[in-house]
Structures are given as C-alpha cells and as structure tokens.
C-alpha cells in the first residue's frame, strides 16, 4: 500500500470483545482524534445506540443498523433477539461491547452527568500510563460553583516527556495537587515533588466504591470527552479482598482514564494543606 498512489484500507466490523485488541487500538485512535478535534488520515464512523437507550428496544436497533428498511427488517432482529445467547445478539446486532453489561456503572449513568459549565481551576490532577506504556493520560477534578465534583480529560500523550510538559501546563495553578502512580516516581521533576502524592492499587481498592457512589448519586459532572467516557463505561469492577476495585484484566480494553477518575474524584474533597505565613523574630 505504501508504494501506491492514494492507497485506502477499509475495515468494518460489529463490536468485539476482550480479544479484539487491534480493533480496540484503531477505535481508541478515532475517539482520541474526536476529543482533540483534529483531522487525521483515519476516518472513524460507528453506528451504535446511545447509552441511555434500552439495547433490547427497537429504538436501539434502528440506531445501530442503518440497513433497516433496505436489506434488513425489524422482524429479523426481533427473531434474533429471542436466541438464548444474548451477548452474541448485543454484539452482532446492536453493536455493543458485551462486557458493558458487567461494568461498574449501569448504562446511561455516566452520560447523564455531562455539563457545559467551564472547568474550575485547581483541584486534583491524576496521571497514569497504559499497560503497554504507549500512552500517558491525565484527568483533573475540582469542585465547581454548584458544589459538584467536575472532571475533565486534560491530556493524552504518547511519550513521557510530552506527559510532563502537559502536567507543567496544567499545574501552573499552584493550588493543583498531583497524584502519580509508581511508574512516575523515578521521573517526576523536582518542582512537583512537594505537591504530589503516590497512589496505586491499594488506593484503587479503597476508593473505587467512594467514586462510584459519588457518580451514582449525581455528585460528579464531566465535560463529555469521548475517550474518557469510553474508559469509564467499559471499566469492569471486581471484588478483591472484600473491596471493590477496577480490573484492567476483566475490562474489554484500556481503562487508565477510569483509574485516574477514581483517584481524582476521591481526593478532590480532601482539603489541601496550605502553609500559613509565619513570622520569625531573630534576636542577638
């Protein structure tokens, strides 16, 4: 293809499962371009029902099947919906990732929390890297004027150097606290050490339920970033030592942004320790 003039590769599929690694990578790239509002050589289009729509309804089937009325009828889908393997139907006929049925949030909960309010300054910035170390992400949370925790996807970078540049830009506000995972311990710049805190799997086990409760009780708002929404909605929670935690192994794709969300939301309500001015009197 690289030697031909104007080559084109066309790929099409219904939604996959945990084993669809290559498809997930291309889909993530398309969602990232949408979030960044950049035009790339990849054209990404997806027909799938809205998160607020019941996947077993005719409305969802119409959203996921543009061929209805041309080469496909609703009667055919009704017959397919009666098959005993519901996961296969949702994946092949409604174009849904089947693991979403086992997610830590019910479909539509996260989507309904979108807000158009501007993101407040300060708060907590949590950074994380993907399991294959090919992507570095940051999610910031802060309290807004309504008393809700508002979150946004601050950046998605390909290299560690770009990640720290993005952190420096976000942390120009000196009230912004920084949460890092052990992967960043050796590379963290000295100027960030005094306002950073280490988090990891232990904190994820302690805080997942806290963040989940805040989301379910509508105490969280977000900016509607597509990639952040995908990570949050696909994340699967498991019980580990009696505590609820997000599982990267059980989730059908990357969830590093969801992990950052848990860290940031759980920490933002904790007051930052701000040093008070001190008067020192020196006498001879």
Digit-coded pLDDT (tens) for 140-151: 999 998 889 999
Task: Supply the pLDDT for residue 88.
Answer: 80
72-89 average pLDDT score: 87
Task: Supply the pLDDT for residue 31.
Answer: 85
Q: Do residues 184 and 127 lie in contact, with contact meaning Cβ atoms separated by under 8 Å?
A: yes
- Greater pLDDT, 59 or 50: 59
The H-or-E segment that residue 163 falls in is helix 160-170
Structure tokens at 206: 């302690």
Dist. CA 171–CA 72, nearest whole Å: 53
User: Is a pLDDT exceeding 70 seen at residue 218?
Assistant: yes
158-171 average pLDDT score: 94
Q: For residue range 200-217, what is the model confidence (pLDDT) as tens digits?
A: 999 999 999 999 999 999
Task: Supply the pLDDT for residue 121.
Answer: 92
Q: Do residues 170 and 154 lie in contact, with contact meaning Cβ atoms separated by under 8 Å?
A: yes
Task: Supply the pLDDT for residue 203.
Answer: 93
Dist. CA 30–CA 33, nearest whole Å: 5
Task: Supply the pLDDT for residue 95.
Answer: 87
User: Is a pLDDT exceeding 90 seen at residue 99?
Assistant: no
User: Is a pLDDT exceeding 60 seen at residue 274?
Assistant: no
As beta bridge partners, residue 136 has 129, 157
The fold of 111-268 is Nucleotidyltransferase; domain 5 (3.30.420)
User: Is a pLDDT exceeding 70 seen at residue 186?
Assistant: yes
1-5 average pLDDT score: 87
> Dihedral through CA 103, CA 109, CA 114, CA 119, nearest 10?
-60
256-276 average pLDDT score: 80
* Domain residue ranges of the chain, discontinuous segments joined by +: 111-268
**In the 8-state DSSP scheme, what is residue 94?**
S
Model pTM above 0.85: no
**pLDDT band, residue 14 (cuts 50/70/90):** confident
């Amino acid at each position: 293809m690289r030697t031909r003039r104007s080559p084109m590769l066309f790929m099409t599929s219904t939604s996959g499962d945990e084993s669809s690694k290559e498809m997930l990578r291309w889909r993530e790239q398309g969602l990232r371009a949408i979030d960044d509002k950049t035009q790339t050589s990849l054209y990404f289009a997806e027909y799938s029902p809205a998160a607020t729509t019941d996947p077993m309804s005719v409305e969802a089937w119409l959203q996921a099947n543009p061929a209805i009325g041309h080469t496909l009828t609703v009667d055919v889908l009704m017959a397919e919906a009666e098959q005993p393997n519901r996961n296969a139907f949702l994946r092949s006929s409604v174009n849904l990732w089947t693991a979403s049925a086992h997610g830590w949030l019910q479909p539509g909960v996260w989507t309904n929390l979108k807000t158009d309010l501007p993101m407040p300054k300060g708060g907590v910035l949590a950074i994380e890297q993907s399991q294959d170390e090919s992507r570095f992400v940051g999610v910031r949370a802060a309290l807004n004027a309504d008393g809700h925790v508002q979150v946004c996807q601050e950046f998605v970078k390909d290299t560690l150097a770009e990640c720290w540049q993005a952190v420096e830009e976000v942390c120009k506000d000196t009230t912004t606290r920084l949460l890092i995972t052990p992967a960043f311990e050796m590379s963290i710049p000295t100027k960030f050490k005094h306002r950073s805190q280490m988090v990891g799997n232990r904190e994820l086990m302690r805080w997942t339920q806290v963040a989940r409760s805040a989301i379910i009780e509508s105490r969280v708002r977000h900016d509607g970033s597509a990639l952040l929404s995908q990570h949050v909605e696909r994340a699967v929670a498991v019980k580990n030592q009696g505590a609820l935690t997000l599982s990267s192994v059980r989730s059908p794709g990357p969830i590093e942004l969801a992990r950052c969300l848990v860290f940031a939301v759980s920490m933002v309500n904790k007051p930052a320790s701000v040093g008070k001015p001190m008067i020192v009197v020196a006498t001879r």
